[in-house]
Amino acid sequence: MSPVVPHSGETCVKVSLADRSYDIRIKAGLLRDIGRSLRDLGFSGKVAVVTNATIGRLYTQTVQSSLKAAGYHVTQVVLPEGERSKTLRTVSLILDKLAQCQFERGSVLVALGGGVIGDLAGFAAAIYVRGIPFIQVPTTLVAQVDSSVGGKTGVNHAVGKNLIGSFHQPRLVLIDPDMLKTLPTREWIAGLAEVIKYGVIADEAFFSYLEGHIDAIRKMEEGPVIHVIARSCEIKASVVAQDERESNLRRILNFGHTVGHALESLGGYRKLIHGEAVAIGMVLEAELARELGHCSNEVVSRLRALVKRAGLPDALPPTTFPKLWGAMQHDKKVAQGRVYCVLPEQVGRVVVVPLDQAQFKRWFSERRRKPSQARAPRSSSWSATAHRT
């Protein structure tokens, strides 16, 4: 596990990836130091700050004055807001601006925003002149604990979420938890889904901490919030360092996302925001794990209780088996025609299994008939081939 090193009140988590290693720096007020942070990395010349109008209104003045004071020539790129803007068309807006302003290989891009901005800006940085450096300045909880770390960048396609993209690691992740204070409550709560995910996939003690501190976290008390961000980043950094390109272990980060991404896409990216879809996905995938005999009912009930106490949704929105299964086929986690799903064995340990259509259909029909009925672990007649990671 990567160490968290306290240094002048700052927490630093290292993502160890040989010559692509970088720091995740966490401290309230860090945004004001962005100019110096870029200088410390040795960058000079042009910087493009990619953001949207909402975040821009709140933070670009601070960012611009810090960058200008450090001697940078700053260009701002303001993108349309929301998941529906995560498209190739929006990426080309960034590329147009970079080309018009004659950005070069040594120029830097700053992704100032949530996961949508981070994924879009990171992808533009990956492909402009075959790759320029970028830094992540995540402004939502989802982005601070997940999307800004690990180098997954990309956009959605009409057929499925995140189908087009590239691995391109940032040179720095600069996390200022103060920026979470302006986040709409719904977005703040949604981020807690990804935090809970880390407890389930890797750390029972962290899950217990969340159970014990969820009220303080929801109230945004500084100590618990910084702990939650730092521990989540540590877990993600450790997984990414072991499997940068998701050939095996990194798949565990997709817990809740097989069903979650399908629900997001079925709702036209309007009804559920990412974290909410992941919360429902985690509960349903845990139920499925129980049904397939991978975990006990206690795992499902602990998870469901924490999800609910966090203020997240846990119920499957109205849909049909063909729609849900169909949406799951377009997920990028499909391999050789099989849908893979991350299922909990215990809180803190998961397994990756290929799903069988008949099994999934049976579970889906059964839960519609008796939606809230808890069932004991089942016999192996339902168990799928497990790839332990």
Q: Residue 193 interacts with ligand NAD (CB under 6 A)?
A: no
Out of 25, 251, 257, 302, pick the active-site residue: 257
Closest CA to 112 of 56, 36, 42, 44: 56
SS3 211: helix
Contact of 256 with 278, CB cutoff 8 Å: yes
Q: Residue 83 interacts with ligand NAD (CB under 6 A)?
A: yes
As measured in angstroms, the least distance from the Cβ of 369 to ligand NAD is 32
* DSSP tag of 104: -
Active site residue 219: no
Taking the least distance from each CB to ligand NAD, the nearer of 62 and 383 is 62
User: At which residue do the structure tokens 């079925």 appear?
Assistant: 266
Query: Which of 4, 10, 41, 81: binder of ligand NAD (CB under 6 A)?
Result: 81
As measured in angstroms, the least distance from the Cβ of 155 to ligand NAD is 9
Active site residue 236: yes
**Pair type for strands 134-138 and 172-175:** parallel
Active site residue 333: no
Cα dihedral 217/279/180/230 (nearest 10): 70
Contact of 308 with 314, CB cutoff 8 Å: yes
Query: Which of 139, 232, 258, 265: binder of ligand NAD (CB under 6 A)?
Result: 139
Contact of 261 with 334, CB cutoff 8 Å: no
Cα(134)–Cα(117) distance, integer angstroms: 12
Please report, as residue ranges, which positions from 343 to 372 form the binding site for ligand GLY (by CB under 6 A). none
Q: Residue 179 interacts with ligand NAD (CB under 6 A)?
A: yes
Q: Residue 168 interacts with ligand GLY (CB under 6 A)?
A: no
Cα(123)–Cα(119) distance, integer angstroms: 6
Out of 86, 227, 274, 333, pick the active-site residue: 274
Q: Which residues bind ligand GLY (CB under 6 A)?
A: 146, 150, 152, 250, 253-254
Q: Which residues bind ligand NAD (CB under 6 A)?
A: 52, 54-55, 58, 81-83, 86, 113-117, 119, 139-140, 142-143, 146-147, 150, 152, 162, 179, 182-183, 187, 190, 274-275
